[in-house]
Structure 1
Amino acid sequence: MSNVHQAITAHVSKQNAHLQQFLQLEEARERAIEEAVAACAAGRPFQVDLINRITSAINEHAQQGISPTRVYVTEQMVREHAAKQQV
C-alpha cells in the first residue's frame, strides 16, 4: 500500500469517526428536544439546559472537523414548537 493510499485511508477513517460522534450527539440532542416539547405540551415544567449542553458539545466538536453546528434552544422555541404540534 502506498503512502498516499495510507494517508487517504487514515483521513477518511478520521472523518468517519468524527461524523459518527456527531450523529451520537445529534441523536441525544433530538431526544432532549423531544422530551422538552412533550413536557411543555403536557403542561409540565421543562428546561433547555440539557439541550444546550449537548448543543455546546456539538459546536465544539464541529470546530475539529466537518460536522455542522447547531443553534442554542430557548424555552420560547420549545413553547412555539409544542404549540405547532398541537394544531
Structure 2
Amino acid sequence: MNVHEAISKHSNAQHLHLVRFAELDAQREHAIEAAVDLCKRGLPFNVDAINAVTTQIIAHAQKGISPLRSLVTEDMVRDYVNKG
C-alpha cells in the first residue's frame, strides 16, 4: 500500500468513527430532551436511556478520536430544569 492509500484509508476510518459518534450523540441528546420534558411537566423520569447511550459513546471513544460524554444523574436534569 502506498502512502496515499494509507492516508486515505486512515482518513476514511476517522470519518466513519466521527459519523458513528454523531449518531450516538444525537440519540443521547434526544434522551436528554425527553427526560427534561418529563421533569418540566413534573412527571417521573429517569436517566437510564441517557446513560445507556453515554456508555456506548465512552466505549466508542476508546477506539478513536471522538470526544467523551459524561454520565448524567437525575439531580443534574432537575438542576438544569430549575435554572431554565
TM-score, normalization: structure 1?
Answer: 0.94
Residue matched to 2:52: 53
The Cα shift of 1:26 comes to: 0.3
Instruction: Return 5+ residue gaps in structure 1 as ranges.
Output: none
AA aligned to 1:70 is R
TM superposition outliers: structure 1 runs of 4+ over 2 Å:
none
**CA RMSD in angstroms, aligned pairs only:** 0.9
Corresponding residue of 1:40? 39
Per-residue CA deviations over 1:22-75 (Å, capped at 9, x if unaligned) read: 000000000100110110010011010010000000000000000011110000
Structure 2, gaps ≥5 residues long: none
1:16 correspondence with 2:19: no
The number of equivalent residue pairs is 84
Percent of matched pairs sharing the same residue = 51
How many angstroms apart in 1 are the aligned matches of 2:54 and 2:3? Answer: 36
Kindly state the Cα deviation for residue 84 of structure 1 after the two structures are TM-superposed.
Answer: 1.4
State the partner residue of 2:28: 29
Match of 1:82 in 2: 81
Aligned to 1:69, what secondary structure does the other structure show? coil
